[in-house]
């Protein structure tokens, strides 16, 4: 495609420098190209058990009414979330994945040229969405122990700052913020700034001292907490996320929101998934047991890793992240190289099923011996 000057002049400022999110080929296509079968994917922090069975059954029941638009108010799902999380339905907003809520926050609060702050590395979508909307992003490097530098983030706020993104636990480091740290951070934030606290992985946290945004909402009217059904409930392919804020913040976001942004199957599935206690507890056991196995095996191999509070973690590879990714791919094990996150020596994997974790370790051993 020829990039004409006319096109360059047409696009919004900031778009020229963006790179498309790496699409990644479908597994079937990769297997065909590499001549392999039965590969495993540990690259996208997904639930290895599949979707919640109760959600699947709710989808089947709902399929017959797909001629109807979804409930644009998400009445029953919000009611369910409100009851479980002890907030009012007016403080909840639904999204086509929490990705959409990140964009919705930006479309509601950020004008062209406005400033935002994030940690780096963190979830790559924040910067992409800010720049795509003509905003400016300051990225505050994480600390040497992989924790988010909250003091640095507070210092990076200027009078033009509208939004701050904090990811707890942070993707890709898996580090988490304690209740005390979060409370003092929020107290430092001036009242012209919205804090978007992304808790996509909060349900995996095992450390009781870690902060939960829900407990902080009351004292902080400019705090917005994002959550998702993609991870714990295994519904990533369906696209459903939710957020909590003050009634006022949610009201403004609702003015910008597309009326049918949360689709009908996703709403039905999410309601059912929240009742699927067996699936939730099985998921948490698979993740915790998997982490123990992986930590122990990596220690035996003398490979460094970064302990996590999420369902994924970083591993330092003497071969480098990209090379490890390529070698593992040829063995049918798909991991994530961390060069685009500024960590070229690392890969990130999510915990898989027991046999997947074992295969990962076997493959790691094999490529380390050969290379
Ligand atoms: C930190 C973080 N936030 C948000 C998301 C997006 O989640 P969703 O599937 O709800 O759009 C992800 C997905 O990987 C994530 O890692």
What percentage of the chain has pLDDT greater than the value 90?
Answer: 89
Q: Is 124 in the pocket of ligand 1 (CB under 6 A)?
A: no
Q: Please identify which residue in the block is written with the tokens 């290379």.
A: 371
Residue 227 near residue 199 (C-beta atoms within 8 A): yes
Q: How confident is the model at residue 14 (pLDDT cuts 50, 70, 90)?
A: confident
Q: What is the pLDDT of residues 148-177, one digit of tens each?
A: 999 999 999 999 999 999 999 999 999 999
- pLDDT exceeds cutoff 90 at 1: no
Q: How confident is the model at residue 22 (pLDDT cuts 50, 70, 90)?
A: low
**DSSP letters of 84-124?**
HHT--GGGEEEESSHHHHHHHHHHHH--TT-EEEEEESS-T
Q: What is the pLDDT of residues 96-152, one digit of tens each?
A: 999 999 999 999 999 999 999 999 999 999 999 999 999 999 999 999 999 999 999
Query: Which atom from ligand 1 is nearest to the alpha carbon of 236?
Result: 9
Q: What is the pLDDT of residues 266-294, one digit of tens each?
A: 999 999 999 999 999 999 999 999 999 99
Residues 6 or more apart whose Cβ sits within 8 Å of residue 264: 62, 65, 66, 68, 69, 70, 71
Could you tell which of 81, 122, 171 is best to mutate to test the pocket of ligand 1, judged by most ligand atoms within 8 Å of the CB? 171
Tell which wins on pLDDT, 33 or 1: 33
Give distance in angstroms: CA of 45 to centre of ligand 1: 9
pTM summary value: 0.96
Domains within the chain, CATH numbers bracketed? 22-50+278-370 (3.90.1150.10), 53-274 (3.40.640.10)
Instruction: Give me 189's structure tokens.
Output: 């934030």
Q: Is 325 in the pocket of ligand 1 (CB under 6 A)?
A: no
Query: Could you give the CA distance from residue 93 to residue 104 in angstroms, rounded to a whole number?
Result: 10
Q: How confident is the model at residue 24 (pLDDT cuts 50, 70, 90)?
A: low
pLDDT of res. 19: 80
Residues 6 or more apart whose Cβ sits within 8 Å of residue 196: 102, 105, 126, 163, 164, 165, 166, 224, 226
Give distance in angstroms: CA of 163 to centre of ligand 1: 18
- pLDDT exceeds cutoff 80 at 226: yes
């Amino acid at each position: 495609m020829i990039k004409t000057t006319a096109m360059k002049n047409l696009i919004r400022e900031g778009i020229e420098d963006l790179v498309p999110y790496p699409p990644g080929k479908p597994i079937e296509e990769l297997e065909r190209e590499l001549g392999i079968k039965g590969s495993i994917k540990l690259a996208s922090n997904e639930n290895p058990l599949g979707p919640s069975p109760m959600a699947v059954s709710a989808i089947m029941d709902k399929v017959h009414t797909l001629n109807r638009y979804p409930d644009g108010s998400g009445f029953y799902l919000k009611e369910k979330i409100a009851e479980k999380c002890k907030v009012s339905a007016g403080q909840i907003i639904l999204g086509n994945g929490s990705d959409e809520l990140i964009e919705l926050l930006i479309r509601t609060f950020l004008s062209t040229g406005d400033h935002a702050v994030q940690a780096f590395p963190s979830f790559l979508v924040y910067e992409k969405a800010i720049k795509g909307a003509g905003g400016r992003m300051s990225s505050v490097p994480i600390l040497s122990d992989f924790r988010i530098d909250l003091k640095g983030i507070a210092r990076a706020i200027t009078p033009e700052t509208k939004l701050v993104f904090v990811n707890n636990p942070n993707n890709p480091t898996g580090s988490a913020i304690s209740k005390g740290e979060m409370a003092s951070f929020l107290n430092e934030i001036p009242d012209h700034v919205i804090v978007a606290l992304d808790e996509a992985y909060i349900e995996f946290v095992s450390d009781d001292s870690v902060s939960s945004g829900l407990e902080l909402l009351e004292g902080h009217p400019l705090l917005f907490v994002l959550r998702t059904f993609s991870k714990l409930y295994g519904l990533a392919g369906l696209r459903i996320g939710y957020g909590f804020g003050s009634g006022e913040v949610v009201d403004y976001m609702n003015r910008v929101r597309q009326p049918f942004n949360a689709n009908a199957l996703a709403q039905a599935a999410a309601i059912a998934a929240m009742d699927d206690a067996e699936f939730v507890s099985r998921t948490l056991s698979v993740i915790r047991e998997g982490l123990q196995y992986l930590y122990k095996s990596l220690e035996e191999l003398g490979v460094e890793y970064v302990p996590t509070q999420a369902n994924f973690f970083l591993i330092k590879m003497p071969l480098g992240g990209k090379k490890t990714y390529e070698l593992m791919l040829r063995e049918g094990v798909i991991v994530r190289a961390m060069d685009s996150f500024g960590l070229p020596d690392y890969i990130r994997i999510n915990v898989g099923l027991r046999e997947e974790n074992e295969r990962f370790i076997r493959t790691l051993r094999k490529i380390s011996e050969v290379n």
